[in-house]
Amino acid sequence: MATKLYVGGLSFDTTDSSLQDLFAQYGTVVSAQVIMDRDSGRSKGFGFVELEDQASADAAITALNGQQFEGRAITVNIARPREDRPQGRSGFSNGFQRR
């Protein structure tokens, strides 16, 4: 089963391809994605890499967490499930209900 990793502290110049190349030395990369800001189109400085198995993910975490990549120290750990956030406005503005 594939294991998804969070990669933080990325350079704004990091691409999906360079992220995939970095992790490929530890196992088969299922996917690699740098998260981009939807308004500016710039990297948000973090991304996710999915490796084919847990052993590959553990090896990548051990080898890469805290290491320099493209001039920045990166953080690598198991990705946590995304937390649900409220969608849109809930009828409240500045703590007061609209009438």
pTM of the model: 0.81
Q: Is the dihedral of CA 37, 42, 46, 50 positive or negative?
A: positive
- The pLDDT, as a whole number, for residue 83 is 77
Quick check: 8 pLDDT over 90?
yes
| pLDDT(1) > 90 | no
Q: Which CATH architecture has domain 3-78?
A: 2-Layer Sandwich (3.30)
Give 88's pLDDT tier (boundaries 50, 70, 90): low
- Average pLDDT value for residue range 25-39: 96
Write the pLDDT tens digit of every residue in 59-81. Answer: 999 999 999 999 999 999 999 98
